[in-house]
Chains A and B, each alone.
Chain A
Amino acid sequence: MSTQDATRQLLFQMADDALIMGHRNSEWTGIGPTLEEDIAFSSMAQDKIGHAYQLYKILNAMGEGEMDKLAFNRNEKDFRSCHLVELPIGDYAFSLMRQFLFDTAESIRYEQLQNCSLTPLAQLAVKVKGELRYHKMHADVWIKQLANGTEESKARLQAALSELWPYALGMFEEGDWQAARKSEGLGDSESEIREKWLAAVSPKLEEWNLRVESAEAVEGGRQGYHSEFLAPLLKEMTEVFNIDPLASW
C-alpha cells in the first residue's frame, strides 16, 4: 500500500472510531445513572466528536472531501471503525468497561503519534492528551468502585469484560498498510500498540479481580466490513443531515 493510502487508512480509522464512539457516548445523555454521570458522558461524547472533527479536517486538507460529507455522507463500507465502538451501549458496566478498553488504547496510540511524521497529526496528539487522560481516569475510578462493590456490580463488570474482550482485540487489526506505516514514520504498528495496551490493561484487570479468557479478535472493521449495528447507527446519526444534504448549517 502506498504511503498516501496508509496515511489515509490511519486517519480514517482513528476519525471513524472517534465519531462512532462519540455517538455511542452521547446516547447516555438523559439516561445516565446520576446527573453528574449524565454530564460526564455527554462531555466525553463532545470530546470524541471533537477529535473526529480534527481528524476529518486533516483528511479534508489531503483532498478527501468536505468534512460534513465525511462524517454524514459515506457508505457503511467506507467506514474504518472497529466493531468495538459500534456495539450498543448496553448497561453502565458495559459502557464503562468499553471506555476503559478503548480509551487506554487511544491514549497509547496518541502518545506515540506525538512524534510521527505527519505534522498536523502529531500536533493533534499533543493537544488531546489531557482529554484522553480524563476519559481514561473516568473509567478507572468508576470500575474501581464497582469492582469493590456488590456481587451484582462485580458480576456485571465480568460479564461486560468477557463480552468485550474479542472486540477490544479487534481494535488492533492489521492490514497491508503495515509496511508503509512503519517506513513512513506514521507511528507504531497495530501489533506494537496492542502489546503496550495489554501491558497497561492486564495489571488493572488483575487488581480488579476480573478474568480474561483468550479469544479470537473480531476483525473486519478496518477493511470496511462492519457489525450489524453500524448501519442502523449511521441511519439514525445522519437522519437530520439527510433531510437536506445540501443545506448550509
Chain B
Amino acid sequence: MESLDPRVGRMKVDGLEAGTVSEENYWESFEVFHQKKTGTAFVHVGSLQASDHEMAMLLAKEQYGRRMTTTGLWVVKTTNVFVLEPDEMHMFSTTASKTHREAVDYKVRDKISAFKEKNKNK
C-alpha cells in the first residue's frame, strides 16, 4: 500500500532480529532514581541504556519524568551500584524478630497528646 507514512511497509533491517544484539554495540546500563516531591526519598524507578551520563540524563527525563511530577532525577552507572549477593541475604533472617531494637517504648505521640491535653485548659 502506497503511503507517505514511513510506518506503513515498516522496514526490515538485516541482522536485527530478536536476540542478535551483541555486547559490543550495546550501550552502557544506567539506573535511574526519581524524586517526586522535594525533600522525599529518591526512588529507584528502573534502568536504561545510554552512551554516557549526559545521554542517560536526557533519556531518563523522557522515560521516567514524562508523566509524574519530578523534583529530582539521578542517573548512576549500573556498574557503580554495589549489590549484596542473594546468598548473603540470610544476614537479615533474624532481624525482624529483634524487636528490642525498635523504638516502640518511647511512644512520642502519646506523650505529645498527654501534654496537649494537660495544657488545653490553661
Q: Which of B3, B7, B58 has the most CB of A within 10 A?
A: B58
Contact with B along A6-26 (1 / 0, CB 8 A): 000000000000000000000
How many A-B contacts if CB must be within 8 Å?
42
| Nearest CB on B from A94, distance (A) | 12
Q: Flag whether B24 is at the interface (Cβ < 8 A).
A: no
Asked if A137 is at the interface (CB within 8 A of a chain B CB), the reply is yes
Is A27 touching B6 in the complex (CB atoms < 8 A)? yes
Partner of A39, one of B10, B11, B49, B62: B62
Q: Which residue of B11, B49, B55 contacts A145 across the interface (Cβ within 8 Å)?
A: B55
Q: Which residue of B lies closest to A41 (CB)?
A: B62
Residues of B contacting A30 in the complex (Cβ-Cβ under 8 angstroms): 7, 10
A176 at the interface (CB under 8 A from B): no
In the bound complex, residues from chain A placing their C-beta under 8 Å from that of B50 are: 36
User: Which residues of the other chain, A, contact B48 by a CB distance below 8 angstroms?
Assistant: 36
Q: Pick from A37, A40, A137, A232: contact of B4, CB below 8 A.
A: A232
**A140 CB, min distance to chain B CBs, angstroms:** 9
Asked whether, in the complex, the Cβ of B11 is within 8 Å of the Cβ of A43, the reply is no
Is A31 an interface residue, CB under 8 A from the partner?
A: yes
Q: Do A43 and B62 touch across chains, with their CB atoms under 8 A apart?
A: yes
- Whether B51 is near chain A, meaning CB under 8 Å from some CB there, is yes
Judge whether B59 and A31 touch: CB under 8 Å: no
Assembly CA distance A141 to B60 (angstroms): 13
List of B residues within 8 angstroms of A137 by Cβ: 58
Given contacts A31-B10, A31-B11, contact A36 B4 (CB under 8 A): no
Who on chain A is nearest to B10 by CB? A31
Tell me the bound Cα distance from A31 to B49 in angstroms.
17
Choose one: B6, B49, B58, B59; the contact of A89 (CB below 8 Å). Answer: B6
The answer for the CA separation of A194 and B66 in the assembled complex, in Å, is 31
A120 adjacent to chain B (CB < 8 Å): no
**CB-based contact B54/A141 at 8 Å:** yes
Asked if B63 lies at the interface with its beta carbon under 8 angstroms from chain A, I say yes
CB contacts (< 8 Å) of B54 on chain A: these are: 141
Taking A88-B4, A233-B4 as given, write out 8 further A-B residue pairs in contact, using a Cβ cutoff of 8 Å, ordered by the A residue number.
A27-B5, A36-B63, A39-B63, A40-B58, A43-B62, A137-B58, A138-B58, A236-B3
Q: Which 6 A-B pairs have the closest CB atoms?
A: A36-B59, A40-B62, A141-B58, A30-B7, A232-B4, A39-B62
Pick 18 A–B contacts, CB within 8 A, sort by A: A27-B5, A27-B6, A29-B7, A30-B7, A31-B10, A31-B11, A36-B48, A36-B50, A36-B59, A39-B63, A40-B59, A88-B4, A137-B58, A141-B54, A141-B58, A145-B55, A236-B4, A236-B5
